[in-house]
Chains A and B, each alone.
Chain A
Amino acid sequence: MSDTATRVESSRKSGWRLLIIQIVAILAVLAAVCIWITVAPLSATERGTLAPAALWNSTVQHLSLTFVSGVIVLVIAIPLGVLLTRGPLRKASGPILAIANFGQAAPAIGLVVLLSVFISSGYWASITALVLYAALPVLRNTMLGIRAVDQRLIEAGRGMGMSAAAVLFRVELPLAVPVMLSGVRTALVLLVGTATLAAFVNGGGLGLLITTGVSLYLYSVLIAGAVIVALLALVVDWAGRVVEHVARPKGL
């Protein structure tokens, strides 16, 4: 018995070690990029676009796009996912998953441009497109996570007199947390990448660097933008893993 206990303990420890190595590597690459920007022989236009203040602005904008849409996704998709596992609504899960699948399958760029026709603000058009795009993994994983909970545990809970709500909050959701969080992490990483498309509809973000780099043949700007977006995605992924690690219910 204590074997299992120590094994759980050691797997937790090795998990932390991996996470630390990950963040150190990401930070090292980030530092290298910063140094390169300061020392590289850049033209005046390039230097202007990659100025610290401008860069910081784009990054903040990018993160705002990511997290605002992320929060909206969570607020919509998690309760919806939970509802779709409840009794009578279970039947609706098919059609709703189909819609979510459509959002995921539709080319993100098309979605962004299409929505900008209807929504005048580039920022909110982008947010809407991003929400549609990233809702699926969260929705699907919430449903899968809850459905994967052993039916006998639910029966045991009900059998000992827990109400349906108590079983949901004390048994089903805690046990579904690992699967749900991995869905959230996937969604956030998707969002960081897809948020670059906001630049096409004047929504801001680090996509600006990439579009500028492409249209003006400023390769250093293009590369800087791409690398920073990639690093951002890795940081978000890392943060997600940390949360998963901490929030994983003990005893699993």
Chain B
Amino acid sequence: MSDTTTTIEQAPAEVSGRPIRLDDVTKRYPGQTKPAVDGITLEIPAGKVVMFVGPSGCGKTTTLKMINRLIEPTTGRIVLGDEDVTAIDGDELRRRIGYVIQAGGLFPHMTVATNIGLVPKMLGWDKERIAARVDELLELVSLDPDTYRDRYPRELSGGQQQRVGVARALAADPPVLLMDEPFGAVDPITRQRLQDELIRIQDEVQKTMVIVTHDFDEAVKLGDWIVVFEEGARIVQYDTPERILAEPANEFVENFIGSGAGLKQLTLRRVRDVDVASAVTVSPGTSGKDALQKAENAGHGHVVVVDERERPLQWLSRRQLARIETIDAKADPALPVVGSSATLNDALDTMLVSSAGAALVTGRRDRFEGVIDVETVMDAIRDARANAANSEGAPVGMNSGSIGLTPSLVAAGEAAQVAPDAGSDSAAGAAGSTEGTTDTERGAAG
């Protein structure tokens, strides 16, 4: 996730998303004493995926629907880019914001193409342009246009319907995409595939996405930022997945993460993100004695046998070398190998299975790159915790309605999401105050 941040900072032109700001937004339903959403102030950075998680009924969906004003806020402002959209025509606003619901929400009496073309048609595009856009989007979501264009939704599987739903939301190239439990209605395998697909699509389109989910693992997998809500849409923690896993703000978040937070953290980092140790390599045909000498000189306990294209064949210890006359070119089928794009979780798994306590890392075209061991993984976790502690440019998220919120967060101090004085600032409702707060916090963080 953190590497995405740097990419975007380096190439801001690619981001087609726009930031969203909720400014002291409250939703109160008539006849209810407690507001459904209580004075939420939330900054959603452009081109990022922000996940809303929380128990059911916590107001996360209400908050999402207030962004496109499907639910009108009782008080507060919604700012999209630089534009205050609190008072503009709701239908007009929603045509500029993609919206995906569970199971896609496709209209069963319209073909796939008609479904996707609805918003462009409302925006007055001509037929050729709509048809071209439909085909382009079907390709983007990996559906063959010629096969699927004229089908009706009931002729598609759940996963395909969901893809079309995403394509429909992207139809008019909106800067912002809102998704309400998008993958809730599909089986786990399809869900995983759709999540991977969404990550790929997001790499391509760089929209600002807000996704509501109750699945914390999904939030960790998809999110650049995660907002953990509790009842009344109170923000308990608004942070990167790394930091939420490393330092849950309180017991509530801990419980929500569930067991295995450490392991979940390992899925966030990839082998290529950590420093792998170098190793002594020899090619087949070398005599055991020479190889042993080489290992001793380097002070290593093992040598890696690689073929002419530098693909690892065997991994031999000094003791094994001492007994070998000449090293042959046989490939060891039980060799613990991980790709550099594998997650640390996968790497650890490989090590444990091979009982070697380490694994060989291969890069492009299976070329040998180095050795990763358990200590490297442990270091990476420690590193992640240290990095998380000074995560830079954290967006603002707070419930300004009350000062006494989430004391543990305030106590946490570093890169404080909630500065007590910022709360009262924003409660005053001044437009500039939120930005001011951000700057202050960035300063504090840096």
Contact = CB atoms under 8 A, between A and B. Distances in A.
Interface of A: 1-2, 4-5, 152-153, 155-163, 166, 170-171, 174-175, 249-252
A160 B152 contact: no
B99 A156 contact: yes
Nearest to B110: A251
Would you call the interface of chain A mostly helix, strand, loop, or mixed?
Answer: helix
Report, as a range, how many residues of chain B touch the other chain. 20 to 34
A70 B146 CA distance: 45
A155 B101 contact: yes
Contacts of B107: 153, 156-157, 170-171, 175
Contact of A155 (B105, B111, B154, B168): B105
Nearest to B118: A160
B215 to A, nearest CB: 19
Contacts of B151: 1, 5
Looking at B96, B109, B154, the one whose CB has the most chain A CB atoms below 10 A away is: B109
19 contacts: A4-B154, A152-B101, A152-B105, A155-B70, A156-B101, A159-B68, A159-B94, A159-B99, A159-B105, A161-B93, A161-B122, A162-B122, A170-B107, A174-B109, A175-B109, A251-B111, A251-B153, A251-B155, A252-B108
Contacts of A155: 70, 101, 105
A159 B110 CA distance: 17
B325 interface: no
A170 B102 CA distance: 21
A191 B122 CA distance: 42
Interface of B: 68, 70, 91-96, 98-99, 101-103, 105-111, 118-119, 122, 151-157, 168-169, 178
Contacts of B152: 250-251
Contact of B94 (A161, A171, A251): A161
Given A160-B119, A161-B92, 16 more contacts: A1-B156, A2-B155, A4-B154, A4-B155, A153-B105, A155-B105, A157-B107, A159-B99, A159-B178, A160-B94, A161-B94, A166-B122, A171-B107, A251-B109, A251-B154, A252-B108
Contacts of A174: 109
Contact of A252 (B68, B70, B106, B109): B109
Contacts of A158: 70, 94
B308 to A, nearest CB: 47
Nearest to A251: B152
